[in-house]
Amino acid sequence: MFAVDLLLVLGLLGTLGDVLGSVCNETCPDKPVFTPSTLVVKYGGSTSATCVACEDACLGHKYDLEVAVGSRKRHPNSTTVTWIVANMTQWDTYAWCYYNTDSDTQCCTILNVIVFHPPESVSMSILNHTGPMFEHEEYTLQCTVRNVAPVEKLAVTFYMGLKELGRVTSKATMKEPITETFILNLNASKEDDGAGLWCQAQLELGPSGPQPPLITVSQEVPATVYYGPDLDDPATPQPISVTEGRTLQLNCSAVGNPPPSYTWTLPSGGSTVPDGSVLTVTSVGFEHGGQYVCNVTSNRKTVTVNFSVNVQVDFIPYIIAGVVIAVALACFVALMMYMQYYKQRRMGQYNLKDVFRFHARHIAVPGEG
């Protein structure tokens, strides 16, 4: 009769604690002790908990369990009562253990019972968005957990690849299974490009809960993040001096998604040619000097790099030519002098070689002859 009345009151007033607070004293010494102190049970599953009503305060008094479901088993010659549930079919259930005291009150302990239901499914999406994301823009990630109980024990973690983005919980307190949507804001960055977005739902049921804890993960939503173009070398290039005949290489490489395209404007007539990130002139002439403009385009954005090229005269050929001319000139002069001398000897004039020979013959050298 008491249990039926109480159920009625529970139904009218709501929480168990409020109602029991008026009929049972939870602060008395030598109060009933439940093992385990928190009972975690899967909906539809079986479970049991044991109450030792008292050490000695309840001896000679009425003691018992009040339960909403299942059966009670008393143990002879002890103050122990066991609650046995073969099939847990209540979401918001209760069990408490009590004994009557001399002063016509009850000393009691309410068992903390958690009836859980693992998520039926977990799914990941980006709210109001399809297609690629753009760097530095905000997106709302949405993780939907279907048919889970109790939602207040649920923690949802969002991931980008292996990187944890954030963890959220629900404020809802209902014990029945519900479908709850969790959201997290994401500021897209280029490092996220190509990673998978996913979320995980974990029922945190404590040490009395299933071990390892129940984790359900969503599918992966591939994240494409458009970014750039970002120049590999963002510094403004210095004016470039190159000697004629040498190779000129201008580089305006950039990264981006989609990969950037490059167009070059050349100093000669300002013509625009499609090209790669590196412009090469294998043998520079004076016509190659001037301003080069590289336009890097991606995501409807264009970054411009200006190169100033100054072609210098190559002096080496002139130096070589000068040397060759000097040598040729010297040879010519020598030839002319020799020819002049030869002409004079033929005409029977003074021969320097004979003069030396004459002298050698007539000088008295000591020791000789």
Ligand X SMILES: *[C@@H]1O[C@H](CO)[C@@H](O)[C@H](O)[C@H]1NC(C)=O
CB of 219: closest distance to ligand X in angstroms?
21
- For residues 105 and 342, what is the distance between their CA atoms, to the nearest angstrom? 153
Under the rule (CB under 6 A), what is the footprint of ligand X? 127-128, 232-233, 251, 253, 278
CB of 158: closest distance to ligand X in angstroms?
17
Radius of gyration of the chain (CA): 50
Place of tokens 């001896």: 59
CB of 252: closest distance to ligand X in angstroms?
8
Residues 6 or more apart whose CB falls under 8 angstroms from that of 277 comprise 251, 252, 253, 254, 260, 262, 294, 296
Closest CA to 53 of 114, 111, 132, 123: 111
> Rounded to whole angstroms, what are the CA distances from 73 to 58, 67, 78, 100, 252?
18, 12, 12, 19, 83
Closest CA to 159 of 112, 209, 221: 221
CB of 120: closest distance to ligand X in angstroms?
25
CB of 233: closest distance to ligand X in angstroms?
5
CB nearer ligand X, residue 243 or residue 247:
247
CB nearer ligand X, residue 109 or residue 144:
144
The count of other CB atoms within 10 Å of the CB of residue 139 is 19
CB 99 within 8 A of CB 57: yes
CB nearer ligand X, residue 47 or residue 277:
277
CB nearer ligand X, residue 176 or residue 230:
230
CB of 3: closest distance to ligand X in angstroms?
48
CB nearer ligand X, residue 137 or residue 232:
232
CB nearer ligand X, residue 121 or residue 253:
253
CB of 186: closest distance to ligand X in angstroms?
14
- For residues 260 and 264, what is the distance between their CA atoms, to the nearest angstrom? 13
Q: Report which secondary-structure segment, H or E, holds 227.
A: strand 225-231
CB nearer ligand X, residue 3 or residue 127:
127
Closest CA to 303 of 232, 363, 249: 232
